[in-house]
Structures are given as structure tokens and as C-alpha cells.
Amino acid sequence: MRAYASGLDYHLSDNHYSHFFTQAKAKGYEAFKIKVGHRDVAWDLNRLSLLRDAVGPEALIMVDSNEAWAPKEAIRRINAYQDAGFPIYWLEDPCLREDFEGLRQVGEALPHTHLNTGEYLDLAGKRALIAARAVDILNVHGKISDSLRAGWLAAEHGLEVSLGNTSMEIGVHVACALPECHWLEYSFQNTTILVEETVRIEGGYAYAPDRPGHGIRLSDRARAEFRCPEAGQETAAGILPAPPISLEMSAA
């Protein structure tokens, strides 16, 4: 499954931001997603300029504003990016998740940019989103069974799917199982210390393990080092108290 490098970068300084995406480019990624939505459009434009310097003009650029805008502002922002010479492959979650009419207006006003949304909606919400024609690429993630259902729903309407972040990249199995899924998000969350053998991501592609089951086994060393102490166990802070008894437990 083709993977894109997702920065989770809003908090980074310009230097760290540029270094991060330069490294991602060196690892073989050809598509990159950044956070936008600063109150000053010049801030966003500077980040897009730094990104182009780091990854080159031919890379695919996605932007995610995490519901920062009203529909008209979303349209204004993407037009400003494009007028400045930054074509945007997809716009993710530009306005409130249940503003289906607003999302539809954004999609219609930006014919050259895909609208990626639905990440925060349950299956019923995704169905309403699709019915409103307010999505081009349906964003799915979370539980495997729910993601599969959402993928099948998208297929019934001829929609593309992208798979968001999942713990330890286990979602690669879902991504590979859905013909409509074209992209897998990878955010460099450094889970390699937690597992014996990670999902292989190489040259901008994620490879589903061919090991039994989901193919991921937690590291015994990591389990010993990072496990939560049990009640009554002495720690550096003293003896951990037992958890309070819940009403359900006392009733039992």
C-alpha cells in the first residue's frame, strides 16, 4: 500500500520541520501531509514553501486543517495556496465534521483539490456525508471491522478511501484488503521499540506482514520496561495503591 509521510508538525520550528521532511523524502516518500490553519495565511504559505524546498516541486502535497475553518475561509485558503504556486492534492477536514452542506460547498468550489474527510464520523455519519456528496476521499481508521464496513460503503458509491493512523501500523491489513484504498498514513510515531518486528515501510510503500494473524508481536523487553506497575507494587514514587472499587465490582 502506498504510504504518505504525515508530519503532525504544527508544533515544530521551521528548522525541525524542514529537517523532518527532508529525511522523509530521503526514505523514499513521494507524498507529504502537513498541518495548516494558522490565523495568518502567511504562516501557512511559509510552511508550504519550506516543504517544497525539502521535497521538491513534483511531490504530492496534502494539507489538514483539523476543522479550523468555516467553509468560505477554507475555499479562500486553498485558493491562496494555489495562487502562490502550491497545488494541493487533498484538503483534509477543512470545517466541522457534520457540516455536510459546508463540506459540499468546499468540494464544489475547489475542483482541482480532493476533499478528504469522514475521519471523525461513525458509520452512520459517513453514510450521511456520502449522501450529501460532501467527500471525495473517505478517511477511515480505528477498529478493523468498522473500517472494512466504511470501505464497503465507499465502494458502493465509487469513492476512494484513505486509511489514517493506526496503532503500530496494524491498519496496513485493512488498507491492502480494500481495493478502493489508495493511501496509508504514516506519522513516524516510533512504535518500533514496542514490537519484535515492525510493519515494513520502504520506498514509500507499506507492506502487510505475511506472518500469522496480524503479524505483530509485542516485545518482551518493552513489556517489561514500559508496563504499568500493579497495585501494591513498590515504585520509585512509593507503593502504588489499589484502584478504587467500582459500583459494578461491588455489586458483583
pLDDT tens by residue, 75-125: 999 999 999 999 999 999 999 999 999 999 999 999 999 999 999 999 999
Sign of CA dihedral 177, 179, 181, 187: positive
The band of 71, judged by pLDDT with boundaries at 50, 70 and 90, is very high
CATH code of residue 45 = 3.20.20.120
Counting the structural domains of the chain, the total is 1
Which residue range(s) make up the domain with 59?
3-251
d(CA 130, CA 152): 12
3-state secondary structure of 36: coil
Q: Give the predicted TM-score (pTM) of the model.
A: 0.86
Q: Give the C-alpha separation, 196 to 178, whole Å.
A: 27
Q: Write phi, then psi, for 207 (nearest 5 degrees).
A: -115, 120
